Amino acid sequence: MVYLFLKHKIYGLIFNLFRAFPVNDNKISLITNKSASFESNLREIALELDKRNDTGKNYEYHYILKDQISFKNFYHLATSKYIFLSDNFFALAFMNFSPKQKIIQLWHAPGEFKNFGYDFESGESQEVIRKFAAKTTNLFISSKNFIESLSHRFALDESKTIPTGIPRTDYYFRCDDEFKESLRANFDEKYPFARGKKIVLYAPTFRQNPVNNMIFDNFDIDAFNESLGDDYVLFIKLHPNYNRFADKEHFIDLESVENEHEFVNCTQYSNEQELLLLSDVLITDYSSVMVEYSILNKPIVLFAYDLDDYLSNERGFYFDYRENVPGRIAYDMDELIRVFKEKDFDLERLNDFAHYQFDYFDGNSSKRILDIVLDD
C-alpha cells in the first residue's frame, strides 16, 4: 500500500506540472483500467455524449488508462473540464485541479452489497480517501436508499451523492428482442448442444480460503447435467481472481475441468453483460453480480455451500444475507437441483430486492447524469 501511494503521489506531482494548460469546456476524460466490468459505465456515458454531438454539441472525450503514465494522458486530464471514473483512482487525491474541473464518480457496482470503503481502511488509507473525496464533485448511485451509507463509504457529504441510476444498466434497456435473438443464435451455432435449452449462468466469486475456493469440489457439474440437462445448459464464468489465493494443492485447473465435463466455459468471455442478457437463470453465491442481474427480472439462485465460513472470515455484507438475497439459497447440490426441478425461484423476493437496489428501470441513467453534470 505504501508503494501504491508513492506511485500516486508521483503521478500527482507530474500532473500538477500540466496545470499551466487551459481547461477546455467541451473536453472530457474517462478514466479506465480496461476491465470490462469497470469500463461499461464509461462506455454508456460515451454513447450518450455521441447522441448529444449528433444534435449539434461538440464534446471531445478521451479514455485515460489510469495506471499508464504518459504526457498525453496528463495533458488530457489537465485540460478536461469533466473527469469521469468508475473505480478508485487514488492519484486524484494528490492532483491539484482547476476550480472549473468536475470529478465524477460513477462506481462500477450497482446498489450496495458487500462491505467496503472508509470504515474498512485505517491510517494513511483513510487520509487518502478523505483527500480523494475532497476532489470529488458528485457520486452517482442506483437508489436513494443508499445516499447515507454510500456517502459515508466514500467519505463524501451527502449533498454530493445523487440517485440517478448507474449508466451500465442502460445497456439492458437498449438491447431489443432482435439483438437478443441474434446473440442467442450465435451461441447456438458455436455450441450446438445448447440449442433449445435454457441457459444457466454459474458465476461464483472467489474465496480467500483456498479450501472453500475449490468450487468444483462442491458444484457437481455431472450431477447438474444428469438431473437438469434435458432442459438447461450450463455456462460457467469464474471470477478473474479465482486462483488468486490458491496454493499448489488448491489450484483450480479450469482447462482440465473443461475437458472432463460438459459446460460452456465463459471465464474469458469479455462482455459480462452479454452473458447476463443471454442467460435465463443465474446461479451465484456472494458476488455483487446478483444486484445487476436483478434488474433483468430473471431467476437467481444462491449456491452458498460455505456460507457460515464466508460470513465469519471473508468480506461481510451490509445486509443480512439470509433474509435479503434475491432468491432461494441452496447449501448443497441436492437442494440446488430441487430448486430447479420445482422452479422454486421466489420471484417475489427478487422483485422486492430489485426495487430496493434500483430507483429507475428505464435505460436513461446516463442521460440523467449528463443533464446534471454538463454545463450546456
Element (H, E) at 5: helix 2-17
Q: Which three cell numbers stand for residue 207?
A: 474465496
Instruction: Look up the CATH number of domain 197-357.
Output: 3.40.50.12580
Per the CB < 8 A criterion, the answer to whether 245 and 207 are in contact is yes
Q: Residue 123: pLDDT above 80?
A: no
**Which strands, in side-by-side order, build the sheet including 264-265?**
264-265, 232-236, 198-202, 281-284, 300-303, 328-330
**Is residue 151 classed exposed, middle or buried when 0-12, 13-18 and 19+ CB atoms within 10 A define those classes?**
buried
- Alpha-carbon distance 93 to 99, whole Å? 15
Task: Kindly report the number of other CB atoms within 10 A of residue 59's CB atom.
Answer: 19
- Alpha-carbon distance 283 to 198, whole Å? 13
Query: What separation in angstroms does the CA of 251 have from each of 214, 241, 310?
Result: 8, 12, 19
Mean pLDDT (the chain, rounded): 90
Query: Considering only CA atoms, which of 87, 85, 64 is closest in space to residue 15?
Result: 64
Query: Considering only CA atoms, which of 297, 298, 299, 301 is closest in space to residue 361?
Result: 297
Confidence of residue 38 (pLDDT cuts 50, 70, 90): low
Q: Residue 287: pLDDT above 60?
A: yes
Radius of gyration of the chain (CA): 22
Confidence of residue 81 (pLDDT cuts 50, 70, 90): very high
Confidence of residue 122 (pLDDT cuts 50, 70, 90): low
Q: What is the topology classification, in CATH, of domain 2-170+362-373?
A: Rossmann fold (3.40.50)
Q: Residue 249: pLDDT above 80?
A: no
Confidence of residue 189 (pLDDT cuts 50, 70, 90): very high
Q: Residue 15: pLDDT above 80?
A: yes
Does the fold of domain 197-357 match that of domain 2-170+362-373? yes
Per the CB < 8 A criterion, the answer to whether 264 and 235 are in contact is yes
Q: How do residues 331-360 score in pLDDT, each as one tens digit?
A: 999 999 999 999 999 999 999 999 999 999
Confidence of residue 36 (pLDDT cuts 50, 70, 90): low
Q: Residue 74: pLDDT above 70?
A: yes
> Phi/psi at 96 (nearest 5 deg)?
-95, 100
Answering whether pTM is above 0.95, one says: no
Q: Which three cell numbers stand for residue 364?
A: 436513461
Among 58-62, 139-143, 248-252, 319-323, name the one with the lowest average pLDDT: 248-252
Domain locations in the chain as residue ranges? 2-170+362-373, 197-357
Among 138-152, 157-171, 202-216, 360-374, name the one with the lowest average pLDDT: 202-216
Question: How many angstroms from the chain centroid is the CA of residue 110?
Answer: 7
Confidence of residue 119 (pLDDT cuts 50, 70, 90): low
- Choice between 231 and 67, residue whose per-residue pLDDT is larger: 231
